[in-house]
Every structure is written in C-alpha cells, then in structure tokens.
C-alpha cells in the first residue's frame, strides 16, 4: 500500500513530506524530519503540553487557529493545514512575537522545558482573541492554558504574560497569503485512493465505502486515544482510516427537538454547542482534559472508544442521547447506554462507523448538574463522574436521567436509582433513598485513581450535593469558589 505525501503550509512555504508511515506522530516528524526541536516531548500522552503546536484551517473566510498536542497527533492528520512551531514565531529581524516577549517580560520561564508549549498556546490565544479585537482576561487565560503544565513557575507569571500580550506592538499573520496557499493544496489533493496506508475521506459516502473495503483499518478521530496506544503501548498500524475530514460529520446540526453532533466535530465544538443550550455545563466542559486535547479529540471518538472513565458519556446518557451508526447497508439508532456491551466493547459492526450523537434539547424546568471528581482539578481523568438531569412537576420527580462513570466496566445508566426517584416527591427523604440506592447499584473496582469503597461513597455524596444545590445552596463546591488575588504594590 502506498503512503500518501503530507502537504502543509509552514513559514509561508509549501512543505511536502513523502513516505511517512501512517502511525508516525506529528512530534516525531517535526523533530526528526523538519529539525523543529523546540517542540518538546514531555509525557508522550497529551497531558503536559510541552509538545504544543498550532494548526489552522479555513473557516468562514478566515483562519481558525487551534493549539494541539503533537505527541499524540498523527502526522498525516495535518495534511492540508497551516502549521506553526515555536521556531516560526520570531520575525526575520530577530524580534520576538508578543507571545514570546510577554513571557520574557513577565519572567514566565525558569528551566524552560515547558516554555515552547506555553508560548504556542499563548500564540493560539493571541490569534483567536487579540488579533480579532478581543481581550485576554485572567479567567480566559486559565481556561485556555489548562493543557500546559509547569513544575517551576507556579503559573502566576505565565498568566501575567497572557494578559500582557495585547499591550505589545501588534504582530499579524498574513492570512490572505496562507488561505491562498491552502486553496492550492486543496486543489492538488484529488480523490482518496481505494487503498493506501492513510485514508482520509472528505465525504460521508466516501467514508462508508472505504470502511466497507477496509474493515480492519484503525479508525481515528483526533487520536487522543489511539495516539496513546502508539506512544505508550507501542502499537503499530499498517492502515489508518481518519474520519475527521468528513465534512458532513464535522457539523453540529440544530433541529426542533434535538441537536445532532457529528462524530468528527471536535470536543471544543461539541461542548460549545452543549454549553450554548445548557450554560451550567461550562465548568464541566472546561475540565474535560486541556484545550489542546479538546481541539484534537472528537465527541464521536470519545463515545466510540467507550472508556468507563470518559466524561462525555455519563453526561450524554443522563440527557437521553442517542447514537446513529452508519454503513453502506444503511443506518440504525439506539440509546447511548445500549451501545456498550463490555469493557471497551460495543455493537459496531466491522463496516459501521459512529456518525452522529443526537442530544435532546433542554425542556423548561430541567435541573441538571454534572460532577467530576479527579485527583487534579484541571487536565485530569475522572475517578468518578456523575450527571443528574431531573424534571419536577408540582414537586414530584416526573423524569430523571442519571449517568455514571468510573463505577462499572462501561459508562452506565443508574436505572435502579432512577426507579427509586421517579414519581416520588423531591424531598430530603427521597434524596437520601436515592443516595443509598446509588451507592449500592454499582460495584466499582479499585485502581490507581480510587478505591472501590471511595467511589461508592463519593457517588452517594454527589447525590447529596445535588439535593443541596436543588435547594439553592451554592457555596459547597469549587465551581462557586473565586480566588481574589492580593493587589500588588
């Protein structure tokens, strides 16, 4: 099988890379083939952000910039995009970009290993906010730097640097020139061959046909899981089928009773659509990994992977979401909780793909809370996740959906606890019965993140928190906590 050539735009030039294996990471290509050694490998699993680079694609007549982790992103996935590494920011005369100069002025670097990744995340923020006439608040900087870790500085000077970028002389990217170059690449692309080592179809019929022809090809949709299998488990793949370029599946479509989130829509876009309808999910969405992971990963990939500690599935299950599966034979639709058959196992046929996730629109009076318990508040995997969506009618539980993660072999629906609640008056006594039912409904395992008894206890505690919050209590969790920094002299 033939390895297709990767073509991208970097430093204002068209770059071509031939004979790149399908499972080679972008970080490997940058460091070993292009000599971009400013991009570092810290963790090799998308956690630390030292490998962060920025990619851009055309979007509504301009460029959309996204910071991503190059250590778990496959090199072929950036074909047809513009790419920046830390080496690309310095001007021809040697002057630093505002993202770099602000780090210098704010003393945001110590050992310097993580600094290139921070600079690239700052560059992405600069392009998406400062260059579009916006501002960067400290709160925004904390949100968008959540995927970058530093062991030295304590973060305050880095957050200072984020706020200072807009005060420095403006540096603009020549977007018109880059858009023209990207158009050139798109014109040269041609049709995806029926066979090859890296298949990246651009239309839904093309995807379904290729899936039918190559049921053994490794499906990827952002690589935030498959990338780890390559870097940590040393898996090798002769053939990869990438769904993230399929135009029909990149969209979020709005209907009267639901929204349909395409399987190739990024987690960033998917959560933006969910938060637009349910603003109370904003903190939960921000805590789903760091921004570079959300920019690469997709909701469809998270659902298809089916990790029992994946955060999106408990939320979707509680909201009553359905998943739509497609193949050349047709389509079928089923509740999300029915999609899973065991640990990382599902009902997908070899020629099928996850196409859409259908999420019902919120109804008036919906009481929704999503809880994530993890060792680290930001950029960490859940030990326990619980989402409760409840509708009351005259003080009685008319409808309720409860999704749980980290407590079973699959993301699970708490059917027994829902039965305890449904049709009962929403009182302290009912909440206590639900707490007991939830603690006994699952038999979680003990692992590196939490013990079985801890998980069971926390499940019940979260139901108690839900009761308190439904009664108007607010100062009972970190979401409502605001740190007021001392004024500097």
What is the rounded distance in angstroms from the CA atom of residue 479 to the CA atom of residue 212?
A: 46
- Domain span(s) for CATH 3.10.20.30 in the chain: 1-190
- DSSP strand E in 147-209: where? 198-199
Helices (H), 51-174: 98-105, 115-128, 138-144, 156-164
- CA–CA separation, 269 vs 275, rounded Å? 10
Q: Would you tell me the crossing angle of helices 156-164 and 115-128 to the nearest 10 degrees?
A: 30
CA dist 462 and 435 (Å) reads 8
Q: Nearest Cα to 262, choosing from 301, 227, 218, 317?
A: 301
Rounded Cα distance, 296 and 308, in Å: 20
Instruction: List, for residues 84-105, the tens digit of each pLDDT value.
Output: 999 999 999 999 999 999 999 9
b/e sequence 369-401, b meaning 16+ C-beta within 10 Å: bbbbbbeeeebbbbbbbbbbbbbbeeeebebbb
Q: Which CATH architecture has domain 1-190?
A: Roll (3.10)
- With beta carbons less than 8 A apart as the criterion, state whether 118 and 45 touch: no
Q: What architecture is domain 367-489?
A: 2-Layer Sandwich (3.30)
Residue 244: per-residue pLDDT: 94
Q: Which position has the token pair 């260059």? A: 131
pTM of the model: 0.93
Q: Which parts of the chain sit beneath pLDDT 50?
A: 486-489
What is the phi-psi region of residue 112: left when phi exceeds 0, alpha when psi lies from -120 to 50, beta otherwise?
left
Angle at 245 (CA atoms; ends 243, 246), nearest 5 degrees: 70
pLDDT at 485: 53
Range(s) of the chain covered by CATH 3.30.390.50: 367-489
Edge-to-edge, what's the strand order for the sheet holding 366-373?
Answer: 366-373, 384-393, 396-405, 412-413
Facing residues of 405 across strands?
Answer: 385
């Amino acid at each position: 099988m033939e390895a297709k050539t990767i073509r991208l735009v970097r430093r204002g030039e068209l770059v071509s890379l031939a004979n790149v294996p399908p499972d080679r990471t972008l970080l490997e290509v940058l460091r070993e083939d292009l000599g971009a050694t400013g991009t570092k490998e810290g963790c090799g699993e998308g956690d630390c952000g030292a490998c962060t680079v920025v990619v851009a694609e055309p979007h509504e007549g301009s460029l959309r910039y996204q910071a991503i982790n190059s250590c778990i992103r496959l090199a072929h996935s950036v074909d047809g995009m513009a790419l920046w590494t830390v080496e690309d920011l310095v001007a021809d005369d040697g002057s630093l970009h505002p993202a770099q100069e602000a780090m210098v002025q704010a003393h945001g670097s110590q050992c310097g290993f993580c600094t290139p990744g921070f600079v690239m995340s700052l560059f992405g923020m600069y392009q998406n906010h400062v260059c579009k006439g916006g501002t960067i608040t400290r709160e925004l900087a904390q949100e968008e730097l959540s995927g970058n870790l530093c062991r030295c500085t304590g973060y305050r000077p880095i957050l200072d640097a984020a706020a200072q970028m807009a005060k420095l002389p403006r540096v603009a990217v020549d977007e018109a020139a880059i858009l023209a170059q990207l158009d050139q690449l798109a014109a040269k692309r041609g049709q995806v061959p029926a066979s090859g080592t890296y298949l990246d179809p651009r239309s839904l019929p093309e995807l379904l046909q290729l899936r039918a022809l190559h049921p053994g090809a490794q499906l990827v949709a952002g690589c935030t899981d498959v990338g780890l299998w390559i870097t940590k488990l040393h898996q090798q793949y002769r053939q990869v089928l990438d769904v993230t370029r399929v135009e029909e599946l990149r969209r979020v479509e709005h209907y009267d009773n639901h929204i349909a989130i395409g399987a190739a829509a990024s987690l960033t876009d998917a959560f933006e659509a969910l938060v637009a309808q349910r603003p109370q999910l904003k903190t939960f969405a921000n805590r789903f990994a760091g921004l570079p992971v959300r920019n690469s990963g997709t909701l469809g990939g998270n659902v298809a992977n089916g990790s029992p500690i994946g955060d999106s599935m408990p939320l979707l299950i509680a909201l009553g979401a359905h998943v739509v599966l497609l193949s050349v034979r047709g389509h079928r639709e089923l509740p999300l909780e029915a999609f899973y058959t065991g640990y990382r196992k599902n009902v997908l046929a070899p020629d099928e793909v996850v196409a859409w996730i259908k999420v019902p629109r919120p109804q008036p009076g919906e009481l929704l809370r999503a809880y994530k318990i993890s060792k680290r508040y930001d950029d960490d995997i859940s030990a326990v996740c619980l989402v409760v969506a409840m509708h009351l009618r005259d003080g009685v539980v008319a409808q309720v959906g409860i999704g749980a993660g980290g407590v079973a072999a699959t993301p699970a629906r708490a059917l027994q606890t829902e039965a305890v609640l449904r049709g009962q008056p929403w009182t302290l006594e009912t909440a206590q019965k639900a707490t007991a039912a939830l603690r006994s409904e699952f038999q979680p395992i003990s692992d590196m993140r939490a013990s079985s008894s801890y998980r069971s206890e926390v499940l019940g505690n979260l139901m108690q928190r839900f009761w308190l919050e439904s009664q108007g209590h607010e100062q009972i969790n970190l979401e409502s906590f605001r740190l007021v920094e001392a004024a500097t002299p």
